[in-house]
Amino acid sequence: MKNFLILFYSVALAGILCTLAITTVSAQQGPDGEQQQSKVIVKSRPKPHYPKGARKRHIEATVVLRAIFRASGEVTDIKFDKIIPRDVPEDIVKAFTDESIKAARKIKFQPATKGGRPVSMYIQLEYAFLRD
């Protein structure tokens, strides 16, 4: 009898745990069984200031940055990746990069989600500096 009760409670407990696991998984999945995900939604993306030195020298370029769009709604870990074209003078690269990073810090966004929860993700940002 004791072995029967142990077996009964073990099966019952396993059933309860299985039900809890299914409930947790189904809460994170859409109707088709796929995990619910959404991408970052950018609400505002300020333009960077065009540096006077670059404007004066008629230099145009695109700065590529990498950043983390945090689940908390902050843009962090902003790093210079490259500049196009590559033959831009170093002082102008620095000026374009500094202005791009300032603008990137001001981006307002709704974080990406996975399973209904906000998640952080790497994003590539491009800022084009073109003469008007």
Residues 19 and 82 in one domain: no
Residues 54 and 85 in one domain: yes
Residues 20 and 77 in one domain: no
Residues 48 and 91 in one domain: yes
Give 114's pLDDT tier (boundaries 50, 70, 90): very high
Residues 27 and 71 in one domain: no
Separation in Å, CA 41 to CA 44, 66, 80, 100? 9, 17, 22, 19
Residues 3 and 67 in one domain: no
* pLDDT single digits (tens) 89-104: 999 999 999 999 999 9
Alpha-carbon span 69 to 112, nearest angstrom = 8
Q: Note the pTM of the prediction, 2 decimals.
A: 0.72
What total of structural domains would you count in the chain? 2
Residues 21 and 66 in one domain: no
Alpha-carbon span 97 to 79, nearest angstrom = 9
